[in-house]
Amino acid sequence: MAKKRPQTKAKRPQLSDAEIPVVGAREPCPCGSGRRYKACHGRAAAHAVTELVHRPFEGLPGEGDWVALRELVPAATVELPLKDGLPEGVPSVTLATVLPMAWPALRRDDGSVLLGLQNDTSSGDISRDLADTLQRALTAEPGTPVQGRRAPADGPRMQDLLDPEGAFEPVVHSGFEFWVPDPENATPEVTASLERANAAAIPTVKLTGVDGAYWCQTPEKNHLRWVMPYPEEQLLDALARLHAAGRSSLGEGTRLVGSFRAHGLTVPVWDLPSGVTAEDVEKPAAEFAERLTAALASEAPLTADERRARGGLTNRQVTLS
């Protein structure tokens, strides 16, 4: 009787970690190991999510503006200078707050690249996720969007790809028309996405006299939201000193009401009367910046009134990220 020949299984093609898609925790891992996803590559993905980088934009020019465009500004664009220059066939790289259909990135027909900033990311390092998306967009076929994925843990960050000496100069738009250079040929899906985005956009203006400050208009009142690069505890002490001394406002009818905490930076917020425009607040903001600089330099212990003011500011602080 002839012996049975041993059977061998065909080897499955090996996937890199970055190519393994995310599936349900109890489903078989797409890598072919035979284990459940949560016990295989899902374990690394879960660990990456918990490894949060608290200041993902630290070291980039305009860190405060990166935070503002990520969390506060509806429609804005920034030209990004790459450290090694633009690749052949890529006339420009532009960071945008939001892209149509919530695409992470888009390679336009002319080869230019749009990179979306306000998308959800799959790891705890927004900078690494953005860099991975940007690199794939630079080599994508013109006229195609780039989908999100989990970035390789050892991949570059935006700090590695961008020119550290390059300017970061946001242009705030009243709507999202920058999405469609040729509106007549836009697809119905993009047109519908544009209409929805424009309807939800809050009028926003970037102040020119100070860094990281953005005026916005809401139906009830206007606001100034100012991303500040100082250590949080030092900044809260300085704000408390000014608040207790009655010097924290930006003019008649304005009031410092609290702050956000976003991506490792603190964002004080002022309520403004509905009639106060961005232009109206330019001079008061510049004057406040001078008062704040002096308060930041003080090393004196807080007085009782200043401690109470600090407690009030801290109680009204909200963490966005």
pLDDT tens digits, 55-114 = 999 999 999 999 999 999 999 999 999 999 999 999 999 999 999 989 999 999 999 999
pLDDT for position 9: 43
Give the span between the Cα atoms of 137 and 297, in whole angstroms.
Answer: 45
Give me the pLDDT at residue 3, please: 44
The pLDDT score that the predictor gives to residue 11 is 46
| Cβ-based neighbours of 288, under 8 Å, separated by 6 or more | 242, 248, 250
pLDDT at 1: 43
Cα separations (Å) of 293 from 69, 109, 235, 239, 270? 25, 48, 10, 10, 18
Q: Which residues of the chain have pLDDT under 50?
A: 1-13, 48-50
Nearest to 68 by CA among 220, 218, 210, 193: 210
Neighbours of 300 (CB within 10 A): 8
Please report the pLDDT score of residue 25 as a whole number: 61
Say what the pLDDT of residue 7 is.
47
Specify the pLDDT at position 321. 65
